[in-house]
Amino acid sequence: MSDPGGISRLEKWRATREYLAWQLRCADQKVRELEAQERQDRRRRDQARAEQAWKIQPQRSSSSALLHRGNCTLYKNDFGYINREDAVIALAEPDIEACQICNPQTGLR
């Protein structure tokens, strides 16, 4: 059955369904963009935190414990960062040496 405008109720509902499907696709795309942005922001925050921190690689039987910058890739430890004050104290310990690659004492002077 057609309305006076010449479009049936079924055609109107199909058009409404297509419009809502388009809106849903737009919303899904926006959610994907915001999720990607959130992941990127989290990575940046984590990286900035690591750059301002230090970490200690435990002593092994044949070597001393090593102090690394938080972003040093020679020792992976994404938790247990220490602050500047603790790093200064650690570096003063006789059984903890500075990593020769990331040179952690640079940020401690």
What's the whole-model pTM score?
Answer: 0.62
Tell me if 86 sits within 8 A of 54, measured CB to CB.
Answer: yes
For the chain, give every domain's residue range.
1-51, 53-108
Question: What's the whole-number average pLDDT of the chain?
Answer: 89
Q: Tens of pLDDT along 1-54?
A: 556 678 999 999 999 999 999 999 999 999 999 999 999 999 999 888 888 889
- Per DSSP, the residues of the chain read -B-TTS-BHHHHHHHHHHHHHHHHHHHHHHHHHHHHHHHHHHHHHHHHHHHT-EEEEPPBTTB-EEEEETT-SSS--SS--B-HHHHHHHHHSTTEEE-TTT-GGGGG-
Quote the pLDDT of residue 1.
Answer: 55
